[in-house]
Amino acid sequence: MVKLLSKEDGERAVKLAREAIETYLEERKILQKRLDGVFSEKRGVFTTLTKHGNLRGCIGFPYPVKRLDEAIIESAIAAAVDDPRFEPVRLSEMDEIVVEVTILTPPEKIDAKPKDLPSHVEIGRHGLIVKMGPFSGLLLPQVAVEYNMDAEEFLSETCMKAGLPPDCWLTGAEVYRFEGQIFKEKEPRGEVVEVDIKSCEV
C-alpha cells in the first residue's frame, strides 16, 4: 500500500515546487534542497501550473524513478520552461500562477479484454497511460472529471494524447491505470489545500 501524504507534506510539496521554479527563473540554478520522510521515497509526480484558470504548463514523471523531492523540483522547472505547448514562464508571471502537485501511485497494467477496459476505469479515481509501439500518452485523474468524460471517452482521449487513433484501446494498445493525490494553492502563493478529485474542488 502506497503511503498517502499528510496535509503538511502536501504543503511542503507545493512550496518546494514553487521555490524550484522561482530559483530557476531568477538564478538559472536547479534547487538542491532535500526533504525527509516521504520525500526520500521514489514516487511519480506531475506539476501543473495554471494562470487565471488556464493551463500554463504540466510535466512530470509517470513512474517512481526518482526521490519525490527531486522529482518535484525537476517536474516543476520543466512545467515552467519546457512544456512545448507554451512559452516559458517568466518570473514576473509567478504572482499570477497557481502551483499544483499531483503525487502518483505506480501505474498498473489493466489485464482485461479491450471491450472490458472501461469497466476497470473509475472516473475521479484513476488516471490513464496508453502505450502502443513507440507511442505513449498520459492523462491525470482530474482531467476526466474537469471535462466530464466517461470511461470510454477518457480511454479515447488518452489514446489521442499519445498521438494514436482514439480507438487504439480497442485494437491492442496497453492500458495502465494509476491514482493521484493532488495538492494546490488556493490562489498564487496562497494556502495549500488537498483537492477532492471526484469533484475537482478544493
Query: In a structure prediction context, what are the per-residue pLDDT tens digits for the chain, which is 202 residues long?
Result: 466 899 999 999 999 999 999 999 999 999 999 999 999 999 999 999 999 999 999 999 999 999 999 999 999 999 999 999 999 999 999 999 999 999 999 999 999 999 999 999 999 999 999 999 999 999 999 999 999 999 999 999 999 999 999 999 999 999 999 999 999 999 999 999 999 887 654 4
Q: How far is CA 18 from the centre of its chain?
A: 15
| Distance separating alpha carbons of residues 199 and 202, to the nearest angstrom | 9
Cα-Cα-Cα-Cα dihedral sign, residues 201, 1, 131, 118:
negative
Q: What angle do CA 132, 138, 144 make, to 5 degrees?
A: 125
Do 108-178 and 7-105 have the same topology in CATH? no
The residues pairing with 129 across neighbouring beta strands, listed in sequence order, are 138, 176
Give me the phi and psi of 50, to 5 degrees please.
-125, 145
| Distance separating alpha carbons of residues 144 and 201, to the nearest angstrom | 14
Domain boundaries, the chain: 7-105, 108-178
What is the DSSP secondary structure assignment for residue 139, as one 8-state letter?
A: E
Domain 108-178 sits in CATH at: 3.30.1490.150
- Does CATH place domain 7-105 in 3.40.50.300? no
The residues pairing with 194 across neighbouring beta strands, listed in sequence order, are 183
